[in-house]
Amino acid sequence: MTVDEILAGHEYRDRRGRKWQKLIEPIGWVNMGEHRLLTRTQMRLLIERDQHRDECRGLAVCEDHPVPSVNCYSGVFEMWPSGRLWSSTQGRDYGTLYAAMTAARALAVGE
Whether residue 60 is contained in a domain is answered as no
- pLDDT higher at 17 or 81: 17
Residues 12 and 38 in one domain: yes
Whether residue 99 is contained in a domain is answered as yes
- pLDDT higher at 61 or 111: 61
* Cα distances (angstroms) measured from residue 56 to each of 11, 65, 105: 25, 7, 21
Whether residue 61 is contained in a domain is answered as no
Whether residue 57 is contained in a domain is answered as no
Q: How many domains does the chain have?
A: 2
Question: How much is the average pLDDT of 10-24?
Answer: 90
- In which band, very low, low, confident or very high, does the pLDDT at 5 lie, cut at 50, 70 and 90? very high
- In our burial notation (b when 16+ CB lie closer than 10 A, e otherwise), range 42-70 reads bbbbbbebbbeeeeeeeeeebeebbbbbb
**Which H or E run includes 106?**
helix 97-108
What is the model's pTM?
A: 0.61
Q: Where in the sequence is the domain holding 92, given as residue range(s)?
A: 69-108
Residues 47 and 75 in one domain: no
